[in-house]
Structure 1
Amino acid sequence: MNGLGWEEKKIKLKTRQIVIAGMLGAISIMLGATGLGLIPWPSAAGHATIMHLPVILGGVIEGPIVGLLIGLIFGFFSFIRATNPIFADPIVAILPRLLIGVAAYYTYYLTKNISQSTSLILAGAFGTIVNTAGVLILAVVRGYLPASAGLAVAITNGIPEIIVASVFSLIIGKALINFQKNN
């Protein structure tokens, strides 16, 4: 109990979780710094992103706190490397990214009784929706984009990003889960 009369809860992370958060955060940064995380796509944005995949996978494999930490790394990197005014706003660059891994984890957790494959696909899709919708909604609300442009980007980029993230989440997620079970 603290002086306010309520109990403090401490978040405890295992060494493995900290290492995985750091590694997946570094992969997310590497995808952004090298351009490997941007897939050329004929749209207003000119590319679709897969930089959020490490956040999704970290959330699914190690839980919502690890997903949140990787999302923080991804969001902070987006903020400090902002090449357009939308991402120079820390609320737009960071806030939605904090929620990607959390959303992916809970989607996976709540659907894992269906099948592992379905759960991984849904986690990839929902994590991507949280990222894309979160960034675009905040960009519209904060005046960086008109609603029509936000909707256009959501359709032209969001749908391919959902498909790609779902496929990669299934393939890489299964491999990571199998590796984790065998070690």
Structure 2
Amino acid sequence: MKSMKKNSQWMVQVSLMAAVVVVLANTPLGMIQLPVIKATTVHIPVILGALLLGPAAGAILGGTFGLCSVISNTLTPTLLSFAFSPFLSSTPIGSLKALWISVGCRVLMGAAAGWLWMLLQKCRFNPWIALPITGFISSMANTFLVMGSIYFLLAPEYAQAKNVALSAVKGLVMGTIAASGIPEAIAATVLVTGLGKALLAALHRNRV
């Protein structure tokens, strides 16, 4: 009985975090305007959910993030939406690649964030150190997984969409990682540290 109650509470908490992911993914709140580019914040509740509720929750929330990405890129496609929507591909293998990039990478990122937090906890890192480490590495993992997958799986299509030579794709991908991934990771470091400390304290009080 106690186990069922605990499982129900976990499901409710995951559902609430998933709702935050959906809200951020579908409103301007999911983007931070920087001088040159916009940095996404949608992965931040995924990371927070993973460290609060475990790797399984992180995977579910990452999947929610990915599905929101599929829907957004399908309904309002942009130049590179073919990499994130299986419905915009003309081949089955292309659809599978897009599904991996949009959903699979985010599921893996969410689970990895939970595993990283568990490792840091096992190593007895202070939360003020573990939280920024988890935020930064998890955010960079999201960028590297997505952009790395685009490079290895869709380099010719990426080159065609950007109207550049195939040899230029690596430089474009690395440029995106530097211009977008690093600012996103810094934002995640700050927000995961601040919000994570408050949420961990609240979770601890509820368990007492």
* 1:87 aligned partner: 84
Post-superposition offset of 1:142: 2.1
| Separation in 1, partners of 2:110, 2:129 | 17
Post-superposition offset of 1:99: 1.5
2:194 paired residue among 158, 162, 171: 171
* 1:7 aligned partner: none
1:65 matched to 2:88? The reply is no
2:39 match: secondary structure: strand
Please tell me the residue identity of whatever aligns with 1:117: W
| Separation in 2, partners of 1:64, 1:103 | 7
1:106 matched to 2:126? The reply is no
| Separation in 2, partners of 1:90, 1:101 | 16
2:11 match: secondary structure: helix
| Separation in 1, partners of 2:35, 2:149 | 23
- Range with greater deviation from structure 2 (31-40 or 149-158): 31-40
1:180 matched to 2:203? The reply is yes
1:35 paired residue among 5, 28, 34: 28
Instruction: Give the fraction of aligned pairs with identical amino acids, expressed as a percent.
Output: 28
Post-superposition offset of 1:85: 2.1
Q: Write out the 4+ residue segments of structure 1 that deviate beyond 4 Å after TM superposition.
A: none
Post-superposition offset of 1:14: 1.0
| Separation in 2, partners of 1:75, 1:25 | 11
* 2:162 aligned partner: none
| Separation in 2, partners of 1:77, 1:150 | 23
2:17 paired residue among 20, 24, 36: 24
| Separation in 1, partners of 2:170, 2:13 | 37
Post-superposition offset of 1:164: 0.7
Q: Which has the higher helix share?
A: 2
Gaps of 5+ in 1: 1-12
* 1:136 aligned partner: 147
| RMSD over aligned Cα atoms | 1.4
* 1:152 aligned partner: 175
Q: For the Cα contact (< 8 Å) 1:103–1:126, is it kept in 2?
A: no
Task: Specify the structure having the higher radius of gyration (Cα).
Answer: 2
Q: For the Cα contact (< 8 Å) 1:60–1:101, is it kept in 2?
A: no
* 1:10 aligned partner: none
Post-superposition offset of 1:42: 4.2
Post-superposition offset of 1:101: 2.0
Please tell me the residue identity of whatever aligns with 2:9: R
Post-superposition offset of 1:107: 1.6
* 2:8 aligned partner: 15
* 1:96 aligned partner: 105
TM-score, with normalisation over the residues of structure 2? 0.77
